[in-house]
Structure 1
Amino acid sequence: MIAPKLRRLLGGLRQTPLHPQWLVFKDTRQQKQRIAKRIQGRLLDIGCGEKPLTPFLSAGVNYIGLDYPPTVAKGYSGKADVFGDGQRLPFADASFDCITILDVMEHLPNPEAAFGEMLRVLKPGGILISQTPFLYPLHDLPHDFQRWTGEGLSQFTQRHPADLIERHHHSKPLETAAILTNLALAKGMLDSLHAKHPGLLLLPLVILLVPIINLAGWAFARLLPDEGFMPLGYTAVFKKRA
């Protein structure tokens, strides 16, 4: 019971350097705004969760959220309009103007099938927006299956009728390093808590280190070039060929 309470407490600190993932969360609003600007017409959001894009969408967007029943059955709180499998979408061909799949592809055992299904239900000229992690810890196990580089994402266009029209990476190298260090420290504390391990004695030091690591990563990242060689993840925008 202590761990859920700790997570709830940390949830209130998401927008502060006191949170281990501050460098992840501080830019999420801007990322959603950039994605929302691309969206018009009928939207399918695969793995919609709590529909986080809703506040950023224009009034004319018809938002259909899809999520996977076993995910919700685990106690996950979602607001799906339709329950289904992203690898076998329950929609007719050419049904949507836009599809988003944000931090979901890594959880699909057969992403090739999912990509093909998304293009099937997307109208010619329609937009598919994918957000995927790269240098990010395993999560939601056992349902975490793969990671892609930017070039790996571009290879989908070699196997499917779509063009990659935009791609950008998330996080500068030192920010990524800070995020991974803080996540390792936080996970170590949670594991020590569950196992009643003496490593928990390091908690006061970890609480002190997390904001220092966050702020140092943020500050030093702005003093150095960013060639994208240590990205936290990617956003890729594909356009279905006519």
Structure 2
Amino acid sequence: MSDWINQVMFAAPVWALPINPAFLPRRALWRAMAEAAPQVHGRLLDVGCGSQPYRVLFSGVSEYIGLELDNPDNRATKQADLYYDGCTFPVTDETVDTVLCNQVLEHVFNPEQFLSEIHRVLSPSGTLLLTVPFLWPEHEQPYDCLRYTSFGLKSRLEQAGFEIARQSKLTRGGGALCALAADRLNTRLRLLPLPLRLAVRALVIAPISLVGWLLDAASTADTELYLDNFVICRKMVSASDPIGGHLS
């Protein structure tokens, strides 16, 4: 995927509103990642990296390593440096300082082992930046198996040996409803020719996203209805080890 398409689809700048049907959730994810990125240093492992859309944000790391599940489609379409067998990461114990895992955990059918691998490769007091949907339609079927509430996600991460430093809910309240409506409408447009699809996005979906953007900004007290979880957590070294490190 070109840098321009990555910018339109993932960074979701304001000028992309008329053509990006996922403007609301993608913009929220990008902004959360951008806020955390300046504090991230050392070696970073992007687990489920896809086209590495967030790489541009992490200019302060010494090495950026993309990891993907090993299958023919990923080999052909993803921009990974390493591939794994679905069980074990081809990475030495405690050799990365940060793991980035964006919208991947919902596709993992063995989450205990998956999180154990993240814990294994992280250095002592290493950081995990994780996003995962709470309220979102099935996607990439049949490789979509889980949704996490904020409480369920916190519990699973703690059981895997992580300590929560920050946990946020992204795209809330009316913003979440508008984002879901935009997604459903865009799904119905897939069979249309591209020029017509872009026109409908600009005329119909973009106004819905704009209203959702305003509603999301006003939904500071709405914590039950939201699209995505964003978590910053740290690998626990021992039960007495306090939260500290380079992210808090």
TM-score range, shorter chain: 0.7 to 0.9
Question: 2: distance between equivalents of 1:43 and 1:57?
Answer: 9
The structure-2 alpha-carbon separation of the partners of 1:30 and 1:223, relative to structure 1 and needing over 3 Å to count, comes to closer
State the identity %. Answer: 27
Q: Indicate if the aligned counterparts of 2:173 and 2:219 stay in contact, CA closer than 8 A.
A: no
2:73 aligns to what?
73
Question: 1: distance between equivalents of 2:95 and 2:54?
Answer: 20
Question: 1: distance between equivalents of 2:173 and 2:56?
Answer: 30
Question: 2: distance between equivalents of 1:18 and 1:204?
Answer: 8
Task: Report how far residue 223 of structure 1 moved.
Answer: 4.0
Bigger mean CA deviation after superposition, 181-190 or 133-142: 181-190
Q: Secondary structure at the match of 2:226?
A: coil
Question: 1: distance between equivalents of 2:199 and 2:236?
Answer: 55
1:198 aligns to what?
none
TM alignment of 1:105-116, pairs within 5 A: 105-116=105-116
2:223 aligns to what?
228
Deviation string for 1:215-238 (max 9, x for gaps)? 222233444543321111011112
Amino acid at match of 1:235: F
TM-score under structure 2 length normalisation: 0.79
Q: Indicate if the aligned counterparts of 2:173 and 2:215 stay in contact, CA closer than 8 A.
A: no
The structure-2 alpha-carbon separation of the partners of 1:39 and 1:205, relative to structure 1 and needing over 3 Å to count, comes to closer
Question: 2: distance between equivalents of 1:91 and 1:74?
Answer: 19
The structure-2 alpha-carbon separation of the partners of 1:94 and 1:134, relative to structure 1 and needing over 3 Å to count, comes to same
Task: Report how far residue 207 of structure 1 moved.
Answer: 6.2
1:218 aligns to what?
213
Bigger mean CA deviation after superposition, 55-64 or 124-133: 55-64
Question: 1: distance between equivalents of 2:74 and 2:59?
Answer: 32
Whether 1:238 and 2:243 are equivalent positions in the alignment is no
Q: Indicate if the aligned counterparts of 2:28 and 2:170 stay in contact, CA closer than 8 A.
A: no
Question: 2: distance between equivalents of 1:126 and 1:74?
Answer: 27
5+ residue gaps, structure 2, are: 238-248
Larger Rg: 1
Residues paired across the two proteins, number: 225
Question: 2: distance between equivalents of 1:94 and 1:222?
Answer: 39
1:185 aligns to what?
185
Q: Secondary structure at the match of 2:116?
A: helix
Alignment RMSD, CA only?
2.9
Q: Indicate if the aligned counterparts of 1:36 and 1:53 stay in contact, CA closer than 8 A.
A: no
TM-score under structure 1 length normalisation: 0.81
The structure-2 alpha-carbon separation of the partners of 1:91 and 1:75, relative to structure 1 and needing over 3 Å to count, comes to closer
TM alignment of 1:88-107, pairs within 5 A: 88-107=88-107
Bigger mean CA deviation after superposition, 15-24 or 118-127: 15-24
Question: 1: distance between equivalents of 2:167 and 2:28?
Answer: 17
2:53 aligns to what?
52
Q: Indicate if the aligned counterparts of 1:50 and 1:79 stay in contact, CA closer than 8 A.
A: yes
Bigger mean CA deviation after superposition, 29-38 or 98-107: 29-38
1:152 aligns to what?
152
TM alignment of 1:32-51, pairs within 5 A: 32-51=33-52
1:62 aligns to what?
63
2:246 aligns to what?
none
Question: 1: distance between equivalents of 2:185 and 2:74?
Answer: 26
The structure-2 alpha-carbon separation of the partners of 1:76 and 1:170, relative to structure 1 and needing over 3 Å to count, comes to farther
Deviation string for 1:181-231 (max 9, x for gaps)? 1111221233x659xxxxxxxx98886432332222223344454332111
Q: Secondary structure at the match of 1:136?
A: coil
Bigger mean CA deviation after superposition, 104-113 or 75-84: 75-84
The structure-2 alpha-carbon separation of the partners of 1:234 and 1:122, relative to structure 1 and needing over 3 Å to count, comes to same
Q: Indicate if the aligned counterparts of 2:131 and 2:229 stay in contact, CA closer than 8 A.
A: yes
